[in-house]
Structure 1
């Protein structure tokens, strides 16, 4: 790559330590030594720079040499290295470290100026309550009670982007990339993690989605024999009226007051329904008690294209609270014996969302300055590597 002929001399000021060994291992698939060296410089910058982690700031903080900016820019944006093997190694290491309770499908809104960065367009961001000019990253995050790690990434690209050949050529979007919904991208990542990278065992997959998307994801995960817990974000009645589902059985439970809720009695095996009534209950019992109505139904997909799905069932769990305008609903294929753990699994989603927001500031998730599709994936791979190195260091300190 141009500008890398003096990388040996420039790099010598970085030194050799645990991060050097980590980079050599994780980025061992990169064919050139200078690429692996620039990977380490970039990682050091993501871990060291306070505030905006721009390429210029990284070069200045790590090498005290802003003239290295061009080499770093080319490594991230122009160099054709394959991020797949790097992510596979990161995912395998993270799975051994975390031993996740759940895989959480999460979105990352990445604000951008202008209209030339790959995938950028106006999007309404619900948690901000406004429209943001941004990219949308989809990730699968391994999570447990103590930590989380992004295993894989996809960039959502609309038809407007993919149908424009000039945009595709300018941002180097591969011909193989086709229009996909967010849920289809998530299923694609699940396949890559399990089939191509051999990550196992796979914990329950947790997310939230609008009714149609929730059903699409549920059916896709059923076909893959994966367990899931999907919170339906919207009117669940649209699902119950769907011609693609048939209600097998339905039942309801007596109204439950929040001051009567207790942790399920694990010694009582003949009353699994007690675990159902505590799902999603987050009310503080010190406050005014609330009354919950919980119903559950078994739904059977009616898919002509996938007859094997007709032997599978999806459980719909619906919690309605007196005095609350909206209710909460979930789709799951977890067996009744495992439903008692759903409160813990659902909590992973809220924890992961908070952690991803921290990644945005701590590891520079939002600070990619390039415009290309490969550059975006390179940057997010390096962000994941920085997060794993930090987690390994924290784990080592706790073990000492």
Structure 2
């Protein structure tokens, strides 16, 4: 069967799609581009915002138009949290966020029987971590290793705990085994991913935490670089930094989830830290690592946010001096506590997001300019606008003049920047 997959949302969805692609190929199916005609379509949906829901529905409908005779299946967070809406889309298979291999079994069954099928459970009752094949398709330079699933933070703006359930961790021995296999397959970088990787180990009851996993995987990775996904500020302790700074293959890039730089707003969000604890994390990282890239997410215009509160946020992000930021105007997520709070106008949210983006852009340019004169080992990935580009350990995109550099790690002396990318020459 010719199968096309479309993935929306986060790196966890991307990871799970890659695992399904590998399994489909193993079963003898052919993967084809989503833009063309296929015998079967899979949409891996997202539900982080109402906009994500809308995009998920649009992509499902698009499959039916492409080939009315094809089997169409949807999985992921939107389908998990909105099964009734999904049922109204007239598709062949509705699944959620659990048991991807059983989902593919039913996908093949639906293609043969042409009878609507459903695979849904109560995410909050899940207790086991589903081990999937790690990595990606052969042409990729970096692989993802999903080490955790689920979240129990219950932030007031987020529906993901209801879509993904509680914390489940990949056993350390399995993580080490998959890491060794990925190294053997030729990947040059491994990215830890999960819904909330800071909580790794909580369910295993061994007393081990993320730093224990990181040390074990580092030993198995050899010269393969390790990069961490998004972290909660509570992860960054003196012990974590002391041990992590001794790992020779850990990239000094730390994405700490902020969301707001105002303590009152953080309380309304039900975040588990305040700005003092967050800044402590930033300070620790800079004490133990040489010019680490500290990046973050920011939500602007959260319900009840006053101009004074937003001004505190702007001052705080400048104090932190982030290397890069992802900035979003608050988007109502129906079904969350924040959706019932007093809302700000779209114009206010967009205006605040634009102001924050301007500050973020200035900090990003300053960080890049501070890299000039440094030498970084760059993992090269693709040709782009006359350069061969890749990423330095701090995740800054870096370009050089050169040919045939794909999947090579080479030292680059940084000679300048175009404001978005580092420019350098091979040494």
TM-score category by the smaller chain?
A: under 0.3
More helix by share: 1
TM-score, scaled to structure 1? 0.27
Q: Larger Rg: 1 or 2?
A: 1
- Give the alignment's TM-score, normalised by structure 2: 0.26
